[in-house]
Amino acid sequence: MDFLSELGIQDSNSAAFCGTWMPGEGAPFDSFSPVNGKRIATVRAASRSELETITSKAHEAFLRWREVPAPRRGEYVRRMGEVLRAKKEPLGRLVSYEVGKILEEGRGEIQECIDIADFAVGLSRQLYGLTIASERPQHSMRETWHPLGAVGVITAFNFPAAVWAWNAMLALVCGDAVVWKPSEKAPLTAIAMTKICAEVLAEDGFAPLVGLACGSNEDVAIPMTEDARYPLISATGSTRMGRAVGQVVAARLGRCLLELGGNNAIVCLEDADLDMALRAVLFGAVGTAGQRCTTTRRLLVQKGARVELERRLLAAYDQVAIGDPLESSTLMGPLIDHDAVEQMQRALQAARDQGGEILCGGDVIELSGDLAGGHYVKPAIVRIRHDAEIVQHETFAPILYVIEIADLDEAMRLHNSVPQGLSSAIFTADVRAAERFLSAIGSDCGIANVNLGTSGAEIGGAFGGEKDTGGGRESGSDSWKAYMRRQTSTINWGSTLPLAQGIHFGD
Ligand code: NAD
């Protein structure tokens, strides 16, 4: 495991960083690889009192950082991007080994971190506000964006590097500090990322800007959400987590940026290019072993295309090479842990009980040799009615529900009937159907694509979803505004004091 030593991962590692590495006084825990169930390394968690230090150091660093001109802040982020480029291979391998996604996707995840760093560097020269015409003579009005403070970033296991980078790179150029509470299922990636990025900031004493506090929800995550020194909590994970976090942060009138679960569908009409649809469904449903927030979970296929698309999908699923994610021939690695395997089994049983027919897959696979102890399954396709209760839920596993629809009207009704609203796609050659899908009466999701799948977003666009997905937007476009506070200023350059709305007061 050369990549571990290359990244400075030891047998026992502190996961508490406040500019320097702290002892890690919380209960220690192990990080296991889903590839073979083996312990990779031990992690010494942050304790509640260490979190206190991490928070106050991040806040102190913020008070200095906010005075550094934004393009200079961008210069630090540019250097972070360069170091990430240099370490892309070992980091990609660590992601792959710690969470089980195939190496190609592990590398892709680090590329996403590099891309968002590049984006943030450009952004550091474009944090623009507005000027607005004033109704009063000899007055001018403007909006300015200012740094916010320390941002608490809580992340899920399935994107153990990129989600932090999406938040951190933008927050840093916006003048904020970031304190990261990663998933306890992927702490080593967080430690490696923090080491790399903190080194760039350390030269000028800014390392506390990238605090790390990996520990239990009780000691770390919940106290962070309760703490008013975090004006913004950006939380990525299940809808259940988002509801809990949203309520705690709202109770202190803080801000939340929530990126929660999806239940994403591809609509495939009869006139679609089925070769393209097939490849998109395969990548969307099987990629990352169905453990992406944007995974394709529902295929709403029009009657005339259903039999053929099902036939091609079954043939393609049969060819999916399942096994060691670090091997280049593998298309699907393991699920994250034993619980995930059980949840998949329970969902399949529920689908059967609710009238679903399992067309393929779903079996648990016991691999031998180096992969013994890994959490492998066969991806499943289930033909089912859309009103089956299980179809409403996000099961974080490779289960694709195939639902036959009569026409676009029915597709849209069913499509929008689930609680989640993250990503969606339509395959059609009919421009009218495509435009309708994208219109106000079309998809109700934060992401709506035409002739490409639900997963694999670029960082240039705003990323996030509606309804139970939480409403947050991260990454590109104007998502940076979430990491800043807006100030409206009116300047009177005359020598009288006219009031707005023409009010006369005592004159
Ligand atoms: P999870 O909800 O179990 O945990 C996510 C994070 O939240 C962890 O760090 C966890 O410790 C923390 N957490 C849990 N309860 C908390 C609480 N009460 N207060 C504060 N923090 C708490 O999710 P997971 O299993 O790690 O990840 C899978 C889920 O994440 C899926 O639902 C997936 O769709 C979602 N996800 C969404 C996006 C997105 O951008 N929309 C991206 C990745 C993953």
Which domains are delineated in the chain? 2-260+470-487 (3.40.605.10), 264-450 (3.40.309.10)
Name which residue sits closest to atom 42 of ligand 1, judged by CA. Answer: 293
How many angstroms separate the CA atoms of 75 and 77, rounded? 5
The answer to whether 283 touches 453, Cβ cutoff 8 Å, is yes
pLDDT at 54: 98
Q: Which of 293, 310, 404, 474 is catalytic?
A: 293
> In angstroms, what is the span from residue 485 Cα to ligand 1's centroid?
26
- Residue pLDDT, tens place only, 388-397: 999 999 999 9
What is the residue with the minimal CA distance to atom 28 of ligand 1? Answer: 237
pLDDT value, residue 136? 97
Answer yes or no: are the C-beta atoms of 168 and 153 closer than 8 Å. Answer: yes
Residue 345 beta carbon below 6 angstroms from any ligand 1 atom: no
Strands 264-268 and 376-377: unpaired
- To test the pocket of ligand 1, the residue of 225, 227, 241 to mutate (highest count of ligand atoms within 8 Å of its CB) is 241
Q: What does the mean pLDDT of the chain come to?
A: 98
Whole-number Cα distances in Å, 60 to 66, 149, 200, 205: 10, 10, 18, 11
Cα–Cα distance between 332 and 317 in angstroms, integer? 11
Q: Report the run of H or E that residue 74 belongs to, with start and end.
A: helix 70-86
Nearest CA to ligand 1 atom 35: 237
Nearest atom, ligand 1, residue 154 CA: 9
Q: Residues near 218 by Cβ (< 8 Å), separated by ≥ 6? A: none
Give yes or no for residue 394 CB within 6 A of ligand 1.
Answer: yes
Question: Degrees (nearest 5) of the Cα angle 397, 400, 403?
Answer: 150
The per-residue pLDDT for 331 is 97
Q: How many residues does the chain have?
A: 507
Query: Is 259 among the catalytic positions?
Result: yes
Tokens encoding 105: 């996707």
Distance separating alpha carbons of residues 268 and 274, to the nearest angstrom: 8
pLDDT on residue 55: 98
Q: Which ligand 1 atom lies nearest to the CA of residue 293?
A: 34
pLDDT > 70: what percent of the chain?
100
Q: Whose CA is nearest to atom 24 of ligand 1?
A: 156
Q: Are 446 and 153 in contact (CB under 8 A)?
A: no
Q: For the chain, give the percent of residues with pLDDT over 90.
A: 99
What is the reported pLDDT for 507? 82
Rounded-to-integer distance, Cα 399 and Cα 379, Å = 6
> Whose Cα sits closest to atom 14 in ligand 1?
241
Could you tell me which residues come within 8 angstroms of residue 367 by beta carbon, excluding any fewer than 6 positions away? 323, 374, 376
- Print burial letters for 270-292: b (CB count within 10 Å at least 16), e (below 16): bebebeebbebbbbbbbbbbbbb
Instruction: Give me the phi and psi of 424, to 5 degrees please.
Output: -155, 160
Single out the catalytic residue among 105, 184, 259, 404: 259
Residue 80 contacts by C-beta under 8 Å, 6 or more apart in sequence?
117, 169, 196, 197, 200
How far is residue 317's CA from residue 315's CA, in Å, rounded to a whole number? 6
According to DSSP, residue 102 is labeled -
Q: What confidence score (pLDDT) does residue 1 get?
A: 81
Residue 494 φ/ψ, nearest 5 degrees: -100, -165
Give the per-residue pLDDT at 203: 84
Average pLDDT over residues 336-354: 98
Label residue 74 by pLDDT band (50, 70, 90).
Answer: very high
Query: Which residues are within 8 A (CB) of 124 and not within 5 positions of it... i.e. 6 or more apart?
Result: 70, 71, 73, 74, 75, 77, 173
For residues 477-484, give the mean pLDDT.
97
- Which pLDDT tens digit goes with each residue over 279-308? 999 999 999 999 999 999 999 999 999 999
> Between the CA of residue 220 and those of 15, 98, 198, 242, what are the distances in Å?
11, 22, 20, 16
pLDDT of res. 230: 98
Distance 220 CA to ligand 1 centre (A): 14
* Ligand 1 atom nearest residue 157's Cα: 26
Distance 472 CA to ligand 1 centre (A): 14
| pLDDT > 90? residue 485 | yes
What is the model's pLDDT at position 479? Answer: 97
Residue 158 C-alpha to ligand 1 middle, in angstroms? Answer: 9
Q: Is 263 in the pocket of ligand 1 (CB under 6 A)?
A: no
Query: Of all protein residues, whose CA lies closest to atom 26 belonging to ligand 1?
Result: 156
Q: Is 293 a catalytic residue?
A: yes
CA atoms lying within 13 Å on the CB side of residue 218: 2
Q: Is 401 in the pocket of ligand 1 (CB under 6 A)?
A: no
Give me ligand 1 centre to Cα 143, in Å: 34
Centre of ligand 1 from the C-alpha of residue 359, in Å: 30
Q: Give the distance (Å) from ligand 1 centre to CA of residue 471.
A: 15
Pair type for strands 466-467 and 420-421: antiparallel
Among 382, 436, 446, residue whose Cα is nearest residue 413 = 436
Closest CA relative to residue 445, chosen from 265, 304, 273: 265
Q: What is the rounded radius of gyration, in angstroms, for the C-alpha atoms of the chain?
A: 24
CA trace torsion 52, 58, 63, 64 (10° rounding): 140
What value does the mean pLDDT take over residues 60-65? 98
